[in-house]
């Protein structure tokens, strides 16, 4: 059972582990030349996962930690769209023809900022360069505010079959405090339009820990969303990091829930979703029995990447656009963030890489261990090392794990670690034991609770 003392003890800044090593450890030693060489030496038979970043919004949500900017005209988006296509062509040239795409994701920002004609042109361009796997999942992040039916139709026409809709909270006072006014009706209408166009796999994103949220208010949000029948729900804790995102200073700090209240909100949401028949996935996802995430969980095939929990097994995730991150067998790369730098690189025919990191054999093994903890709440350390053909010196980790076991966060049986259900909210605190970079970095992460 999580006591206030335990929550206080483990409420420390820790990574979310959507990658390992995490992005703060990327460095400028990995440049366009290194990335190009990595692309050219990939196995042609490996399926690809593609991510497209659209860093524009109509208005700024004050809780947002993403790389985006507000625009009030389409010209910057149109210019970026042309640059994005040029980057895709640069990468495709290095990959060679006949590459198959198993997953594709449009994120942001707001991909729905793209006009329908540009959505169709982008789809035609991508599918002209890559082959689409018969069972490919093509997902898009949707802002339902002001969403047009024509935009939905355009995304459906290029193969989109899953959509994620940001809701966060349905209570007006909370919405006003984070600068995101979104009537429930706009969410319902967006879901109806998506389903009418055949996009029938729908995710909903919720948040806890926002200003003016209470247990009763977050439960009210869930009760409003459940009748809309989402297939998946992601429930994220708001990370208040104004030192990294200055616009978060606009959020009334006095209205932010404290640690114990955040935990109660998280648990209340989880209990209600499980009671409603959803299966709990990893740290913060919930899914219907029929959703592929559940089968992946049961069969040990669940993965975690920059989009969260996924069934995507592709070892090659290529990120396109300003600030986008890619993951390859050799390591990680991240594009430049500033638009002038992105424009300059593309104009010079260069891959717009800013930084990255090359993986060692130890990195790969630690990443696999962390992923098992984050996905399956269980890891067999002996089996993982045997499979990797590598033995790690885990003496320091065993001391840390023994302390976690004393506090009830893990159970240790020989070389097998299991995180009990009651400790699920502190999964990141268990996973970070295996992070060899954490103590060496100065990065600022969100808190565990």
| Residue carrying structure tokens 């984050």 | 374
| Residue carrying structure tokens 């717009």 | 352
Q: What are phi and psi of 103, to 5 degrees?
A: -140, 145
Residues 6+ apart with CB under 8 A from 84: 52, 122, 320, 321
Predicted confidence at residue 349, as pLDDT, reads: 98
Predicted confidence at residue 3, as pLDDT, reads: 85
Q: Which residues are annotated as a binding site?
A: 51, 57, 61, 63-65, 108, 141, 168, 180, 205, 239, 325
Residues 6+ apart with CB under 8 A from 248: 62, 63, 240, 241, 242
Neighbour count for residue 195 (Cβ, 10 Å):
15
Whole-angstrom distance, CA of residue 426 vs CA of residue 446: 13
Predicted confidence at residue 275, as pLDDT, reads: 98
Class level of CATH domain 22-320: alpha beta
Strand order across the 378-380 sheet: 378-380, 416-418, 411-413
Whole-angstrom distance, CA of residue 70 vs CA of residue 63: 14
Among 286, 302, 187, which Cα is nearest to 236's?
A: 286
Predicted confidence at residue 2, as pLDDT, reads: 80
Give the chain's length. Answer: 449
Among 227, 159, 172, 164, which Cα is nearest to 190's?
A: 164
Whole-angstrom distance, CA of residue 26 vs CA of residue 47: 25
Predicted confidence at residue 13, as pLDDT, reads: 84
User: Does residue 365 contact residue 372 with C-beta atoms inside 8 Å?
Assistant: no
- Residue 220: which H helix or E strand, with range? helix 215-225
Whole-angstrom distance, CA of residue 159 vs CA of residue 318: 18
Q: Which residues are annotated as a binding site for [4Fe-4S] cluster?
A: 57, 61, 64
**CATH number for the segment(s) 1-11+361-435:** 1.10.10.920
User: Does residue 292 contact residue 231 with C-beta atoms inside 8 Å?
Assistant: no
**Start and end residues for every CATH 3.80.30.20 domain found in the chain:** 22-320
Whole-angstrom distance, CA of residue 58 vs CA of residue 213: 25
Question: How many CA within 13 A on the CB side of residue 412?
Answer: 18
Helix (H, G, I), strand (E, B) or coil at 429: helix
User: Does residue 32 contact residue 86 with C-beta atoms inside 8 Å?
Assistant: no
- Residue 139: which H helix or E strand, with range? strand 131-142
Whole-angstrom distance, CA of residue 340 vs CA of residue 359: 29
Provide the 8-state DSSP code for 408. Answer: T
CA distances (Å), 216 to each of 194, 264, 268, 382, 424, in order? 30, 10, 9, 45, 22
**Start and end residues for every CATH 1.10.10.920 domain found in the chain:** 1-11+361-435
pLDDT (tens place) for every residue of the chain, 449 residues total = 788 888 889 988 899 999 999 999 999 999 999 999 999 999 999 999 999 999 999 999 999 999 999 999 999 999 999 999 999 999 999 999 999 999 999 999 999 999 999 999 999 999 999 999 999 999 999 999 999 999 999 999 999 999 999 999 999 999 999 999 999 999 999 999 999 999 999 999 999 999 999 999 999 999 999 999 999 999 999 999 999 999 999 999 999 999 999 999 999 999 999 999 999 999 999 999 999 999 999 999 999 999 899 999 889 999 999 999 999 999 999 999 999 999 999 999 999 999 999 999 999 999 999 999 999 999 999 999 999 999 999 999 999 999 999 999 999 999 999 999 999 999 999 999 999 998 775 556 666 67
Prediction pTM value: 0.95
Q: Which residues are annotated as a binding site for S-adenosyl-L-methionine?
A: 51, 63-65, 108, 141, 168, 180, 205, 239, 325
Predicted confidence at residue 307, as pLDDT, reads: 87
Max alpha carbon distance in the chain (Å)? Answer: 61
């Amino acid at each position: 059972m999580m006591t206030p003392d335990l929550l206080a003890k483990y409420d420390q800044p820790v990574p979310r582990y959507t990658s390992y090593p995490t992005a703060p450890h990327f460095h400028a030693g990995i440049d366009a030349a290194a990335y190009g060489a990595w692309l050219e030496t990939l196995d042609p038979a490996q399926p690809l996962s593609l991510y497209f970043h659209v860093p524009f919004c109509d208005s700024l949500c004050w809780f947002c930690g993403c790389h985006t900017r507000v625009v009030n005209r389409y010209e910057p988006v149109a210019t970026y769209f042309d640059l994005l296509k040029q980057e895709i062509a640069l990468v495709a040239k290095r990959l060679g023809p006949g590459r198959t795409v198993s997953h594709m994701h449009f994120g942001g920002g707001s991909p729905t900022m793209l006009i329908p004609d540009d959505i169709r042109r982008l789809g035609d361009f991508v599918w002209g360069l890559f082959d689409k796997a018969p069972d490919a999942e093509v997902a898009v992040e949707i802002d339902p505010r002001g969403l047009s039916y024509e935009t939905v139709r355009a995304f459906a026409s290029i193969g989109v079959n899953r959509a994620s809709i940001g809701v966060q909270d349905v209570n007006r006072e909370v919405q006003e405090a984070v600068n995101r006014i979104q009537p429930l009706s706009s969410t319902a209408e967006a879901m109806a339009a998506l389903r009418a166009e055949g996009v029938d796999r729908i995710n909903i994103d919720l948040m806890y820990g926002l200003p003016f949220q209470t247990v009763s208010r977050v439960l009210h949000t869930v009760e409003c969303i459940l009748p809309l029948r989402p297939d998946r729900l992601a429930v994220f804790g708001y990370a208040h990091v104004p030192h990294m995102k200055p616009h978060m200073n606009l959020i009334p700090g006095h209205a932010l829930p404290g640690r114990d209240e955040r935990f109660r909100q998280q648990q209340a949401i989880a209990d209600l979703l499980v009671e409603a028949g959803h299966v709990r996935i990893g740290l913060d996802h919930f899914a219907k029995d029929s959703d592929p995430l559940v089968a992946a969980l049961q069969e040990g095939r669940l993965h975690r990447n920059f989009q969260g929990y996924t069934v995507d097994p592709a070892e090659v995730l290529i990120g396109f656009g300003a600030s986008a991150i890619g993951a390859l067998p050799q390591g990680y790369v991240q594009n430049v963030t500033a638009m002038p730098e992105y424009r300059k690189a593309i104009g010079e025919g260069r891959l717009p890489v800013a930084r990255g990191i090359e993986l060692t054999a130890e990195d790969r093994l630690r990443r696999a261990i962390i992923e098992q903890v984050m996905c399956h709440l269980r890891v067999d350390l002996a089996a993982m090392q045997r499979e990797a053909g590598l033995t790690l010196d885990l003496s320091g980790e065993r001391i840390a794990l023994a302390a976690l076991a004393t506090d009830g966060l893990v159970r240790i049986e020989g070389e097998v670690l299991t995180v009990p259900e009651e400790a699920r909210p502190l999964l990141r605190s268990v996973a970070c034991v295996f992070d060899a970079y954490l103590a060496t970095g100065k990065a600022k992460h969100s808190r565990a609770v």
